[in-house]
Amino acid sequence: MVGCLALGGVSCDGADGRVNVFSPQTTAEAADDDDDDDDESGDGDGLTSGVVTGGPIGDGPEPDSGPIDDGPDPDDGPGGQTSGPADDGPSNVCGDNMIGDDEVCDGPDTGAENCKTQGFDGGDLGCTPDCGGLDTSQCVDFECGNGVAEGDEACDGDDLAGEDCLSLGYDGGELTCKADCSELDPHFCVTAECGDDMVEGLELCDGSVLGGETCASQGFIGGELGCTETCTAFDASACTCDDFDAGGQTGTVVATGNTGADDDTLSISCAMGGGADHIVAFTAPSAGQYVFETVDSGYDTALAAFDSCDVTSELACNDDAAGQQSQISLNLSAGQTILLVVDGWNGDTGPWVLNVNAGTDSCVETTVDVMGSPAAAGNTVQQDEDISQSCANGGAVDHLLRFVAPETGTYTINTFGSSYDTALAAYTSCDPDSELVCNDDAAGTQQSQISLGMTAGQEVLLAISGFAGQTGNWELNITLD
């Protein structure tokens, strides 16, 4: 006999015992029905409502022996699917920057596509907001000839992408761009060859080609401008900046003038900025040491010597040596030309004189090249001590003279006629150790006398001093025995 057990959502249909599924009730309705059934039957069988799947009831297992589907599990995902690990397949969520199954692109992810695959020259390919298409609004087509190097263009017109002839290894010239913007054109770049009388590349000049420059345009007074061996600078060694050429003259007042009417040609190191100056060229007539001074000038002078008109060629500089006047000493070779710059301290100007003494040393104050009684005279009062004498009991202030023998012979040199107790010594230089002879008192007097055998042209230094610090009027007598 076929039986049928009516459950929630299930009905029995007549004699064949088939199970019919009907629309499920709400939870609340089902609960009310269960309560009603329990009240009416009073024999609740403990079955829960749900859908029962299977065949006719009766011949098979007991109704509660098979699995009963009691609806979705609260822990299951939507539609009754059991929650678990996420699927590894492509996502279909637009905006996650990953192309899903139904997406053409997603954010910056355009797959294998780019502006060039879309027929453009370059740019940035994008994606539409709905991920359904490619956005080519930022793709561009480059235009050769617009003056802007873009994309694959090596250059465009004057836009050489930062390159020039030098960066390509040439010495100079003009780099251009080929008409199709495909590459740089170095046709007008050059490799300079110094010595070909052509100014090329980085050359400033080449041989006699000076680009129109002269000594005057370089700030000199005259002369001939040249080009260095490297062709990278002008050679001004033959340019002149002197205002007066004294030749080889020596003595007192070789040159004179007033800097009030001069300009500032050469800056010197010892004049605190200096000011207007006068430049005198001097050529040494013979090898030796020369003393240059501005004694008897009318203002606070400064004096410097230069090897050329180049301000970096300064040889010597002095501000004050005798009061506010200046003195410098230089060893020069025969025929050597130097430039003497008569300047003023801190811009001072005025009348000046230039004295040139051909001395063996810088301590020389007077040059004597004649014989006589006296051959020279002076006063040691208020003078300084230039060199010490071995016979002067400590010595005192002195006066140094350079004597040049006019002929070969034995010379007698004395201080007879002087007004104080003198001391007299001879030297080969300003070094005290070079002393040749020294005498304090001679011939029963307080004056001094020495004797020297000399050849024509030979020079010695004569120091007239006083015994134990005495000073006074002196006379120097020189005779040839």
Domains and CATH numbers, the chain: 1-81 (no CATH), 244-359 (2.60.120.380), 366-480 (2.60.120.380)
Closest Cα to residue 116, out of 86, 80, 142?
A: 142
Dihedral, CA of residue 333, residue 338, residue 341 and residue 342, to nearest 10? 50
pTM: 0.39
Q: What share of the chain is helix, strand, coil (3-state, %, to 5)?
A: 5, 35, 60
CA-CA distances (angstroms) from residue 168 to 150, 171, 180, 232? 20, 9, 20, 20
Strands 122-123 and 139-140: antiparallel
Give the Cα separation of 475 and 456 in Å (integer).
23
Q: Return the number of other C-beta atoms located less than 10 Å from residue 126's C-beta.
A: 18
Instruction: Give me the average pLDDT of each 10-residue run along the chain (481 residues).
Output: 44 45 42 45 40 41 47 46 48 87 92 92 91 92 88 90 90 90 90 86 90 87 89 88 90 90 87 88 87 91 91 90 83 90 93 83 73 90 80 81 89 96 89 89 95 87 90 94 91
Per-residue model confidence (pLDDT) at position 119: 87
Contacts of 419 (CB under 8 A, 6+ apart): 472, 473, 474
Q: What is the pLDDT of residue 415?
A: 96
Q: How far, in Å, CA of 129 to CA of 321, rounded? A: 92
Checking 212-217 for CB contacts under 8 A at 24+ apart, the result is 215/239, 215/240
- Beta-bridged to residue 439, according to DSSP, are 424
DSSP 84-149: -SPP-SPP--TTSSS--TT-S-BTTB-TT--TTTTT-SEE--EE-TTSSSEE-TTEE---TTSS--
Q: What pLDDT sits at residue 216?
A: 85
